[in-house]
Amino acid sequence: MSEEKQQVSRRQFLNYTLTGVGGFMAAGLLISPIRMAIDPVLKPSSVGDYANVGLAVEDITTEPTRVDWKIDQVDGWYESEVSKAAWVFKNEDDEIMALSPTCTHLGCVVSWEGSEKYPNEFFCPCHDGRYYKDGTNIEGTPPTRPLDRFEHKVENGMLYLGNAQERGGA
């Protein structure tokens, strides 16, 4: 039995090496755009998600309290942290209300009892916009519709808020 030594020529060695390195680089170049193309499709949508706003339901009173929280927003390949806020309280039917602080006139921020002149109302300082406690706009002031209301749910005694929903005009 004879042992045949297979000699690899310098030319063959270079061919194998360059083919291997070239293939590796081509795969690297292809994987990145493919991954970028399908990545948003594979991720679960954040639309309709609820966020724990860090408020225990037992701590919610009839006095509107401002709650602030942050959510991760994914827009295509761009991820960002978005600040959210709501005025939370229980109404006379013991129902949880979570109202958007964004004025429906031109988007300024409304505050509960933001003006000493108008107690028990939400007040927008930009153009003296006013809303009743339930978020309904007061006729004769600039806003033409009520404050948006957040969807909510309760889990393990904690309040979770979803998207703010537009309500009918008053």
Q: Are strands 111-112 and 96-99 parallel, antiparallel or unpaired?
A: unpaired
| Per CB under 6 A, 121 contacts ligand FES | no
Please give the full DSSP string across 71-108, using - where no structure is assigned: EEEEETTEEEEEEEEEEEEE-TTS-EEEE--B-TTT--
* Minimum separation from the CB atom of position 96 to ligand FES (A): 25
| Per CB under 6 A, 162 contacts ligand FES | no
| Per CB under 6 A, 99 contacts ligand FES | no
Candidates 53, 60, 88, 103: give the one binding ligand FES (CB under 6 A). Answer: 103
Candidates 64, 101, 129, 146: give the one binding ligand FES (CB under 6 A). Answer: 129
| Per CB under 6 A, 101 contacts ligand FES | no
Residue 151 vs residues 49, 84, 86: alpha-carbon distances, Å: 10, 13, 11
150's enclosing H/E stretch is strand 149-155
- Under rule CB under 6 A, how many of the chain's residues touch ligand FES? 11
| Per CB under 6 A, 43 contacts ligand FES | no
DSSP state of 114: -
